[in-house]
Amino acid sequence: MVTENVSPGSEVHIEIRDLTMAYGSFVIQRDLNFNVNRGDIFVIMGGSGCGKSTLLKHMLGLISPTSGDILYNNESFVNASPDLRGKMRQCWGITYQSGGLFSAMTLAENIALPLQLYTRFSSAEIADIVAYKLALVGLAGYQEYYPSEVSGGMRKRAALARAIALDPEILFFDEPSAGLDPISSRLLDDLIVEMQESLGATVVMVTHELPSIFDIANNSVYLDTNTRTMIGYGNPAELRDNSDQAVVRQFLARGIAAPAEEQHP
In three-state form (DSSP H/G/I as H, E/B as E, the rest C), the secondary structure along the chain is CCCCCCCCCCCEEEEEEEEEEEECCEEEEEEEEEEEECCCEEEEEECCCCCHHHHHHHHCCCCCCCEEEEEECCEECCCCCHHHHHHHHCCEEEECCCCCCCCCCCHHHHHHHHHHHHCCCCHHHHHHHHHHHHHHCCCCCCCCCCHHHCCHHHHHHHHHHHHCCCCCCEEEEECCCCCCCHHHHHHHHHHHHHHHHHHCCEEEEECCCHHHHHHHCCEEEEEECCCCEEEEECCHHHHHHHCCCHHHHHHHCCCCCCCCCCCCC
- Candidates 3, 64, 66; CA nearest to 29 is 66
pLDDT of the residue at 159? 93
Please answer whether residues 46 and 223 qualify as being in contact, where contact means their C-beta atoms are separated by less than 8 angstroms: yes
**pLDDT, tens digit, 9 for 90 and up, residues 110-136:** 999 999 999 999 999 999 999 999 999
From 183, 178, 182, 141, select the one nearest 158 (Cα to Cα): 141
- The per-residue pLDDT for 130 is 97
Task: Return the minimum-mean-pLDDT range out of 54-58, 114-118, 141-145, 182-186.
Answer: 182-186
Q: How far apart are CA 265 and CA 240, in angstroms?
A: 35
Whether the CB-CB separation of 170 and 202 falls below 8 Å is answered with: yes
State yes or no: pLDDT of 226 exceeds 60.
yes
pTM above 0.85, yes or no: yes
- The partner residues of 203 in beta bridges, in order of sequence, read 41, 171
**Sheet containing strand 75-76, strands side by side:** 26-37, 12-23, 67-72, 75-76
At 144-175, the pLDDT tens digits run 999 999 998 899 999 999 999 999 999 999 98
CA angle 156, 203, 180 (to 5 degrees): 25
* Confidence check: pLDDT of 43 > 50: yes
> What pLDDT sits at residue 75?
96
Is a pLDDT exceeding 80 seen at residue 10? Answer: no
pLDDT at position 261 is 47
For the stretch 200-218, pLDDT in tens is 999 999 998 898 899 999 9
Q: Which of 149, 164, 146 is nearest to 109 (CA)?
A: 146
* C-alpha 38 chain-centroid distance: 14
Q: Which residue ranges form the domains of the chain, and what is each CATH number?
A: 41-59+91-252 (3.40.50.300)
Do 111 and 147 touch, CB atoms closer than 8 A? no
Give yes or no for residue 3 having a pLDDT over 80. no
What integer pLDDT is reported at residue 257 of this predicted model? 46
User: What is the mean predicted confidence (pLDDT) over 221-234?
Assistant: 96
Average confidence score pLDDT of the chain:
90
Q: What percent of the chain has a predicted confidence (pLDDT) above 70?
A: 92
CA 208 to centroid of chain Cα atoms: 12
Q: How far apart are CA 221 and CA 43, in angstroms?
A: 7
- Residue 262 pLDDT exceeds 80: no
